[in-house]
Amino acid sequence: MSAVDQLFSDLRSKKQKALMPFFTAGDPDIQTTIELIAAAESAGANLCEVGVPYSDPIADGPVIQASYQRALDRGFKLQQVFAMGGELGDRVAMPLVTMVSYSIIFRVGPRQYVERAQAAGYAGAIVPDLLVEEADDFSKLCSDADFSLIQLVTPTTPRERQVRIAQSTSGFLYYVSVTGITGERKELPPDLVENVDWLRGQTDLPICIGFGISGVETAAKLAPVADGLIVGSAIVRRVAEASDRGQATKQVTQFIGELRQAIDSA
């Protein structure tokens, strides 16, 4: 079992739901990212997604795109993600996974990426642009290494294809709540619950919902449906708007604490 598998096994035994914040590595700088992730765990996060900045993001909305660009403009390098993981290993117990384009993995080399990520303490990777038709080899590589390969299903993914994606996924299945890009939304699709319920009947994987979760109201609505909730843009925006590291940490800690309470009370 990977650390992600173990996490969801533990949470299911306690009838609890996972809270998974997303942070962009290096926005505004690597040390702040480290402090924010440590603060997130103390506020109730169970797993953290670390976004690897990329100049051509796949499904990211303007908030996360801007954070990637800020990090790249400051000279972000992939090695910083690995170094950051090593430092976080001494500070947090929750699993860490990277959100990373397959083009980066391919450039490094799939086996080398998994080995370097694991050596740095990462438990898996979310790879939004890996086509299911091309996923078999990398899926097997990750499975053999107990490294979770987390893939995405969207509202427009045909149901037969959703099943294929689930079959090559490990750790958890990332269900995209809305058609389109990441970002905070006040309303979510009316058929979201029905679609997740159908998918739950096709796989034993935990199903976690992301995209569009803007605050406690949407978190409370979705918590009964999902095994976990992923919150990105709402957190990245707070980091961007903060005047300094201390304020960013305070705002993120408060927001994650509010989300934790909403999820647990739902």
Catalytic residues: 49, 60
Angle between helices 30-43 and 245-265 (to 10 degrees): 30
Distance CA 225, CA 263 (A): 11
Tokens 């091309």 -> residue: 134
Distance CA 36, CA 249 (A): 6
Distance CA 71, CA 92 (A): 23
Please report the beta strands in 105-240, taking only residues with DSSP state E, as ranges in sequence order.
Answer: 124-126, 148-150, 152-153, 173-176, 184-185, 207-210, 212-213, 228-231
Distance CA 229, CA 18 (A): 6
Angle between helices 110-119 and 78-88 (to 10 degrees): 30
Q: What is the biggest distance separating any 2 CA atoms in the chain, rounded to whole angstroms?
A: 47
